[in-house]
Amino acid sequence: MSGLFGVVSNRDCVETLFYGTDYHSHLGTQKAGLAVFNHKLQRSIHDITVSQFKSKFAEELASFKGKMGIGVISDHDPQPIIISSSFGNFALVMNGLLANRDKLIKEIMNRGSSFSELSSGEINAVEVIGKLIAQKSGILQGIENVLDKVKGSASFLVLTKEGIYAVRDKFGRTPLTIGKNEGVLAVASESCAFPNLGFRTEKELGPGEIVLINEKGLQKIKAPSNKEKICAFLWIYTGYPASVYDGISVETVRERCGANLAKDDKIKADLVTGVPDSGIAHAIGYAAAAKIPYRRSLVKYTSGYGRSYTPPSQKIRDKVAKMKLIPIKEVVGGKSIVICDDSIVRGTQLKNQAIQKLWRCGAKEIHVRIACPPLMFPCSYCLSTRTNKELAARRAIKKAFGEKTLPLEDFLDYKNCRYQKMVEAICKELGVNSLRYQSVEDMIEAIGLPKERLCLYCWTGKD
Ligand code: SF4
């Protein structure tokens, strides 16, 4: 996952670009980059694995000048990339996952193009998009080429001398929103970037929609399709609480998820708590619906640690998770606790960094409530960090049923006894008194979009 921000202004845009990009820092922990256009393209990319975006770019910011710019916080590839094509130079940032990446690379190479390699030996996926654009005789034909050829998803911003082309992926799995201020237009993955920079939301791009923003304003280049499959996980975990997608607030969806979890839950607890940050709104919703006090049992020392499952190495993930959450013994001791979290991916962090800390502080009982169903399938569209065998649900199935091949559908239906046995195995592994997940149906109801417009692949394995 990556976060994109672009701005076109009637004055220098660099400060807005800097802060707007920074508001996407929760979406990536590897690389960050900025590019501006001022007669020619100027670009800088930094590694943000150890230091945050702001500290990396603050000093060189004075050397940037321009009225148009794009920025990115990237979880994998270095970007923006700059491509020289027959129709001019352009800078490019991208959020997505190319499921047919190897095929695309082969096709591009067969046409005589070559790639620069990353130090890891992998080819940069953003460069693949850039080459697909440059293959054609004009920018729009190039953008259409990307939308036609990419399997998976790719939302991207292209900075050219005529403005910024903003393109949302074909099925709208990842969002892009346009913001407007006097004389200034911006585009962002996260609409939470807008209010403090003085922007109001002008429009959200639809699936496959293309717009151009420049000093003349917003030009609609290609209308959206009606085949939307927006990522449901945005509301559950990856999105920022103050953002809105398809007109629906992340925070309020999380509160509704919590309320759904409280429905028919018979647990008599002393307090409800959330795993910071994204478990908090789920817990607030649960506490309000169950009429149990919400209290903070774990606090995050600094948001500077970022997300703990995005860094690619397990060692770094564990270290980050261990350091950032501090339990409050005076809240936890002797209490029966309901703890809400967004999801269980591997389960190790929830266990080691939240549950065990609560037990060590003297919790009497711990009941875990999870805002989405068990994750059963790795994402092929925007998150690259999971594999089948890492998922807690898959491991639990193996533990409970051995190597027997059983129909996966049985584990997707919460009323099925095999599903219940799988959840019991995860509960045992976590070492808690009880564990419940929200059902797919309740999660869809909490989001409030028709099922057909949501990507639910993580949980159902169906497109
Ligand atoms: S597979 Fe999951 S994470 Fe990926 S786009 Fe679909 S809902 Fe989102």
Q: Which residue has the least CA distance to atom 5 on ligand 1? A: 231
**pTM of the model as a whole:** 0.94
Domain containing residue 299: 248-460
What digits encode the pLDDT tens for the residues 170-188?
999 999 999 999 989 999 9
What digits encode the pLDDT tens for the residues 324-355?
899 999 999 999 999 999 999 999 989 999 99
**In-domain check, residue 52:** yes
pLDDT, residue 433, reads 98
Residues 296, 435, single domain; the answer is: yes
**How many whole angstroms from its chain centre is CA 134?**
28
H or E segment and range at residue 230? strand 230-231
Residues 99, 174, single domain; the answer is: yes
Peptide bond into 80 cis (omega under 30): yes
Residues 253, 198, single domain; the answer is: no
Residues 170, 294, single domain; the answer is: no
**In-domain check, residue 75:** yes
User: Which of 228, 259, 287 lies at the terminal end of a domain, its last residue?
Assistant: 228
pLDDT, residue 323, reads 81
Residue to mutate (ligand 1; options 27, 153, 233, 234; most atoms within 8 A of CB): 233
pLDDT, residue 305, reads 54
pLDDT, residue 85, reads 96
Of the listed ranges 118-127, 211-220, 412-421, the least confidently predicted one is 118-127
To the nearest whole number, what is the mean pLDDT of the chain?
93
* d(CA 228, ligand 1 centre) in Å: 13
What digits encode the pLDDT tens for the residues 284-293?
999 999 999 9
pLDDT, residue 312, reads 54
Residues 306, 436, single domain; the answer is: yes
Per-residue exposure over 280-290, b if at least 16 CB sit within 10 Å of its own CB, e if not: bbbbbbbbebb
pLDDT, residue 44, reads 96
* d(CA 385, ligand 1 centre) in Å: 12
Per-residue pLDDT at 163 exceeds 60: yes
pLDDT, residue 406, reads 84
* d(CA 173, ligand 1 centre) in Å: 8
Residues 69, 20, single domain; the answer is: yes
Contacts 24+ apart (CB under 8 A), 298-306: 298/273, 298/325, 298/326, 298/327, 298/328, 298/354, 298/357, 298/358, 299/325, 299/326, 299/328, 300/276, 300/324, 300/325, 300/326, 301/325, 301/326, 303/277, 304/52, 306/25, 306/26, 306/29, 306/52
Q: What is the CATH number of the domain that holds 101?
A: 3.60.20.10
SS3 label, residue 362: coil
Q: What is the CATH number of the domain that holds 303?
A: 3.40.50.2020
Per-residue pLDDT at 442 exceeds 60: yes
Residues 264, 172, single domain; the answer is: no
Query: What whole-number percentage of the chain has pLDDT above 90?
Result: 83
Predicted confidence band of residue 303 (pLDDT cuts 50, 70, 90): low
Strands 230-231 and 454-455: parallel
| Amino acid symbol at 93 | V
* d(CA 62, ligand 1 centre) in Å: 39
Residues touching ligand 1 (Cβ under 6 Å) are 173, 231-233, 379, 381-383, 455-458
Specify the ligand 1 atom closest to the Cα of 153.
5
Per-residue pLDDT at 308 exceeds 50: no
Q: Calculate mean pLDDT across residues 440-458.
A: 97
Of the listed ranges 93-107, 250-264, 317-331, 412-426, the least confidently predicted one is 317-331
Residues 185, 253, single domain; the answer is: no
Q: Calculate mean pLDDT across residues 307-316.
A: 56
Number of domains the chain contains: 2
What digits encode the pLDDT tens for the residues 351-394?
999 999 999 999 999 999 999 999 999 998 887 666 888 899 99
pLDDT, residue 50, reads 80
Residues 201, 296, single domain; the answer is: no
Query: What whole-number percentage of the chain has pLDDT above 70?
Result: 95
* d(CA 321, ligand 1 centre) in Å: 23
Specify the ligand 1 atom closest to the Cα of 231.
8
Specify the ligand 1 atom closest to the Cα of 454.
7
Q: Measured between alpha carbons, how far is 210 from 139 in angstroms, rounded to an integer?
A: 12
Residue to mutate (ligand 1; options 97, 372, 382, 452; most atoms within 8 A of CB): 382
Per-residue pLDDT at 147 exceeds 90: yes
Residues 223, 255, single domain; the answer is: no
What digits encode the pLDDT tens for the residues 52-94?
899 999 989 999 999 999 999 998 899 999 999 999 999 999 9
